[in-house]
Chain A
């Protein structure tokens, strides 16, 4: 890694001030996306602002209709939390599938969501559940949050503080992992909510997206058969060494059916 100024602020305000005052600042949460890219010398921030010193950024709370998860909550905490396991078990399941055990002990939900990696798991859960991303200055709906590959609606220096997940009637997450990186080649999150079915897919395209075709079909009939014959358009999908767009499109339907099966 190149050299950098290291900071560990006590408060959100201090963190943002440091960020805005830096030549090229970056927030450090779990570090499992940032540090590898700094080691590769792909990222070279002048200032690294470690959020771990800020109270109230981690923790899980059941507030009735929603679960609120602090941005700095580690994946393992979400995966093993009895609150999440009873409130939104699919979210605990999703968190348990991220990376590997060591990664889950460090990686955070805020870090994952703000990075918007096309193959990350959390974006599928956030979008699938219609969550709300609470930052230091506003609340952003999931539908408005993931804008492009590695891009979100967050403004310069804006910090996610927590994510509010409305509890669905039921939800499931099925992941088809990349055998090498263990990221999602395709990950499908299906939630049955009060306002209908939400189908969020990660891994397949440059950014997580909702499949309106699948949502429409499942809203008419929530069954595996309803998804028969639905093939998403491979045209926009990712194609690489590990999976072609065509295969991914196929997997989307297969994984979606398996998610539905889990909910029946």
Chain B
């Protein structure tokens, strides 16, 4: 009997290749006869593109071709689409200016591709790129999110640079509740713009085979099938059945590798045009300029309460930056992934949110770890904290008092989502204990005795992930379904090949999914191989983002595994000469009830493929099943994060002395992997709260264009993490899992800012709370 591994910290199967340098990332792949691509990018944030003279570049050594955005337009390639239609309050559709694969007549952000040089070597391509002469007529740039709507129009079709003006919730009831409330807390805030900076820069290799008319595209994608659909249906690069997209090992994504970008698209088009394979790898400075950025909201919020501190209403007005173009998911992030989380863990009866999304002459902004939910959580958990301070109430108790209780589930929020299950007080209590919240006063006294400030802050977050029920998503504007595919192929010798439409780029699916399937069949994790990332190998799937892989992809595998067991029972019934209803499957064995007769999983597998003694009249040979799983709801991970800081008032330097995260992710397959996701998410949350900021100057030039200026958290910037779990099993998927990939980045920033403002004794400090900002706040406080 093989011990089942659900809930066990099985060491990762994928590690062997990574720790020995045998990973195979896109940049590691070379094709015979490949050429190299290098992009000519606009130095201006906003300019008319006049003549593009490629003649000198074309004559340089090693150059195969120089292709321009004008040629893209001549070939009538579709633009890069945004896959989520949002309607404004007045019913009109969001404005979708053409997002050209390469700019033809106008550039709208600094770094936008204008031409592609293809050459025999990387250096030759880069050298020639300097000789592509572009006539730019510079235009004034619109850069500020807050001021975008009063700037000059970037697009004639989007007056006031407004993409849409969206709303959710009940305006009249919310306004009335605020009007009559005993207490209203007001908060103006910015959610700072971030640059994802996965360690592996984006890369692609496009390889058009003239003989088979097939295009193979290697790309650093989190969702190869979705990329294929977009490239074929919208950009019309090639017929879908003639395009194969392979995402090999991908070195981190955090959302930035979901989207279909100019570069791989231009490469695909160029490869078909030229009949050569073309390889492109981003230099880090290109990643800064042209990867989709994240966050970038400016908001006003009001929280109304009665005399006892019960929340009555929340009203929010947000301006969200889309950047120069709508990236693939962009429109959904500040709407359905944001507004719908404004209830938080609380029973607030009335909520109304307005979101104006605007265009600016900056890089496109789209989902980045948490995608909308960090923005919502930051707002809610900061305003609740401010309310507590204003009312003179303990921040934990104000939250507790307003929490949705276990008996209230399923709980319909006023912002569309229905939470299925949760126990928020359980995580709150556990976090308070693990963080020794009660002992804070003593530690604070000790810090003060040493001339330091000390603060503690919490965040009781909830998020919605496990995207998503297709019909619901469609009703809300999604252009695709958000189900997931899973195939379980039992091999004749009893090992199993699992094919999934999700794509692991650090999350450990090769291990977790193997655990899921191996446990179901009572076989060893070593006998299950998980395959992902190649449209030529597995069915269409929607990929990995939005913490959906286990809850949706794992569920598909669970359903497929059930089908395998069902067929296995029929085969066993035949072999054991019994009735299928009397066949049990447990611990890897099919057993005839009330007998000592059984067959192993391996024996049944062999029988399925060598059907000599087999119910061939009723049953086809083979033992391979698939499922397409459409979730019935989002999933709702939730928990409490508590951050404690000590600040040196002379410099503002802040040390996180303890960070506690207690999360409810439902069923946990591999605790080690889940904790790793929490660590990484919290690290990015700390990055947002204390270190990272994407800065453009007024002319739209990126000031933070390298690691010299964009502050990535290093090992000596971060503390150890204290991680705990509470569990309420997800009610609506077969795995019972909620997903855990993003929660760390969602729950942590408000806990950190709450702690810092608590330490300093000021109302607010904007993110990132750098030492200088903190020092200045301390000076002002003392003045």
Contact = CB atoms under 8 A, between A and B. Distances in A.
Contacts of A254: 650-651
Contacts of A250: 775
B159 to A, nearest CB: 33
Contact of A243 (B127, B650, B704, B772): B772
Interface in B686-736: 691, 695, 703-704, 707-712, 717
Contact of B711 (A176, A179, A243): A179
A180 B703 CA distance: 13
Most buried by B among A179, A181, A251, A254: A179
Contacts of A247: 772, 775-776
Contact of B695 (A241, A243, A244): A241
A134 to B, nearest CB: 32
Contacts of B708: 180-181
A262 interface: no
Contacts of A180: 691, 707-712
B703 A176 contact: no
A182 B530 CA distance: 42
A254 B772 CA distance: 13
Contacts of A2: 127
A176 B775 CA distance: 14
Given A179-B711, A254-B651, A241 B704 contact: yes
Nearest to A243: B772
Contacts of B127: 2
Interface in B739-775: 770-772, 775
Contacts of A181: 707-709
A242 interface: yes
Contact of A179 (B650, B691, B776): B691
A176 B650 CA distance: 12
Q: Would you call the interface of chain B mostly helix, strand, loop, or mixed?
A: loop
Nearest to B712: A180
B709 A242 contact: yes
Interface string A247-259: 1001100100000
A244 B775 CA distance: 12
Contacts of A251: 651
Contact of A176 (B651, B704, B712, B717): B651
B717 A179 contact: yes
B678 to A, nearest CB: 24
A115 to B, nearest CB: 15
A243 B711 CA distance: 13
Interface in A111-133: none
Given A179-B691, A247-B772, A250-B775, A241 B709 contact: yes
Contacts, number: 33
A2 B124 CA distance: 10
A102 to B, nearest CB: 13
B783 to A, nearest CB: 14
A168 to B, nearest CB: 26
B224 to A, nearest CB: 32
Contacts of B710: 180
Interface string A210-252: 0000000000000000000000000000000111100100110
Contacts of B695: 241
Among B691, B710, B717, B771, find the residue whose CB has the most chain A CB atoms closer than 10 A. B771
A182 B770 CA distance: 15
Contacts of A176: 651
A228 B483 CA distance: 66
B11 to A, nearest CB: 28
A214 B133 CA distance: 54
A244 B691 contact: no
A176 B648 CA distance: 13
A203 to B, nearest CB: 14
Contacts of A244: 772
Nearest to B130: A41
Nearest to B773: A247
A242 B707 CA distance: 13
A27 B277 CA distance: 40
A176 B651 CA distance: 9
B57 to A, nearest CB: 16
B452 to A, nearest CB: 14
A243 B774 CA distance: 12
A238 to B, nearest CB: 13
Nearest to A258: B650
A235 B652 CA distance: 22
Interface string A163-188: 00000000000001001110000000
A118 to B, nearest CB: 14
A243 to B, nearest CB: 6
A227 to B, nearest CB: 12
Nearest to A186: B651
A247 B772 CA distance: 7
Contacts of B707: 180-181
A48 to B, nearest CB: 16
A241 B771 CA distance: 12
Nearest to B708: A181
Contacts of B704: 241
B273 to A, nearest CB: 29
A12 B71 CA distance: 55
A154 to B, nearest CB: 25
B483 to A, nearest CB: 42
A176 B127 CA distance: 39
A203 B651 CA distance: 15
A105 to B, nearest CB: 18
A232 to B, nearest CB: 15
Interface string B677-691: 000000000000001
Contacts of B709: 180-181, 241-242
Interface string A139-180: 000000000000000000000000000000000000010011
A241 B703 contact: yes
Contacts of A241: 695, 703-704, 709
A243 B652 CA distance: 12
Interface in B304-323: none
B777 to A, nearest CB: 12
25 contacts: A2-B127, A176-B651, A179-B691, A179-B711, A179-B770, A179-B771, A180-B691, A180-B711, A180-B712, A181-B707, A181-B708, A241-B703, A241-B704, A241-B709, A242-B709, A242-B770, A242-B772, A243-B772, A247-B772, A247-B775, A247-B776, A250-B775, A251-B651, A254-B650, A254-B651
Interface of B: 127, 650-651, 691, 695, 703-704, 707-712, 717, 770-772, 775-776
- Interchain residue pairs A-B with the least CB separation, the first 3: A180-B711, A181-B708, A247-B772
